[in-house]
Amino acid sequence: MDACSQLIENTPPGARSAAGWQWPSREQLIYYRDLLAVLVAKEFKVRYKSTVIGYAWSLMHPLAFALVFFVLFKIVMRFDLPAYSLFLIGGLFPWHWISNTVTSANFAFLGNSSLIKKVRFHRATLVLASVLNELVHFAISIPIVVGFMIYYGRYPTVSWFWWLPALVVMQFAMTFGLALLIATVNLFFRDLERLSTIIMHLLFYVTPVIYPYEKLPPNFRWVLMADPFAPLVLCWQGLFYRGSVPGEFAALAALWALVCCLVGYRVYQALVWRFAEIV
């Protein structure tokens, strides 16, 4: 029996609810802390099994994308934007946190069917571990962004002390809600896996990740309000590239994060009782 299965088998009595909420005891808090640690470690082990450079691949992917877009837009098409490589990674690293979370969410419950069938525990813990895994990868990328900032003569400001954790919390809430929604719905509608991939590819080009939002024609600015990821990406680019976070986009990002979190949890709560018979 692996460490994860063994830990779940030793679930404290008060923590065996699949969806209902009650104020956790100290024993339950310690249990879920240990369970999350084991699940996150499991995610890392599975993702980088038999690889040579391990978690460095999480940095290589967005950096490779940034290089391609830099060559295409800055060198070939001569896109006139100062410190364009900093602008790119300032949007690509947060975007990859979102994209990777959406992709892995399709298998959060399907890939852990044996655990779900063994004992009743909060199934959302599986999704939470996946989102925490992506958060760790994003945290690893921040020193890379700071290195690019220093290269271009820009430095973190005092506002980082409150904006950095605030944006992390907003993105964590948004990605957790989306992942919970996708992981739940994908159990009943397996086409969602392919549909979500197509939607994320489309949203990548709609979201101003590789171009500044000022380039959008005025009559298309409404896209920034309708796209749940655009305000958040603009906030990250504001922090990393522009030196300030636009308040209106921060407020909109917080609203979208709340909506995603609430919708994802409500859908999960309504359908979690059927998980064991579906997976």
Q: What is the pLDDT of residues 33-79, one digit of tens each?
A: 777 777 777 766 666 665 656 566 667 778 887 888 888 777 766 77
Classify residue 107 as exposed, middle or buried by CB count within 10 Å of its CB (0-12, 13-18, 19+): middle
Query: Which run of H or E residues covers position 116?
Result: helix 113-118
Going by C-beta distance under 8 Å and a sequence separation of 6 or more, which residues neighbour residue 263? 177, 181
Query: Rounded to an integer, what distance in angstroms lies between the CA atom of residue 250 and that of residue 235?
Result: 6
Helix, strand, coil tally for the chain in percent (to 5)? 75, 0, 25
Per-residue confidence band for 23, with pLDDT thresholds at 50, 70 and 90: low
Give Cα 21 distance to the centre of its chain: 24
pTM of the model: 0.82
Angle between helices 57-69 and 124-151 (to 10 degrees): 50
Question: Residue 157 and residue 168: Cα distance in Å, rounded?
Answer: 17
Distance CA 130, CA 127 (A): 5
In this structure, are residues 36 and 125 in contact, taking their beta carbons and an 8 Å threshold?
yes
Q: pLDDT tens digits, residue range 79-135?
A: 778 899 999 999 999 999 999 999 889 888 887 777 777 766 788 888 998 899 899
Burial 177-192 (b: 16+ CB within 10 A, else e): bbbbbbbbbbbeeeeb
Which two three-digit tokens encode residue 223?
């896209």
Q: Which helix (H) or strand (E) holds 149?
A: helix 124-151
Per-residue pLDDT at 77: 63
Which residue matches tokens 């809600």? Answer: 177
Q: Is the pLDDT of residue 13 over 70?
A: no
The rounded distance, in Å, linking the Cα atoms of 133 and 213 is 30
274 CB neighbour count, 10 Å cutoff: 12
Higher pLDDT, 11 or 251: 251
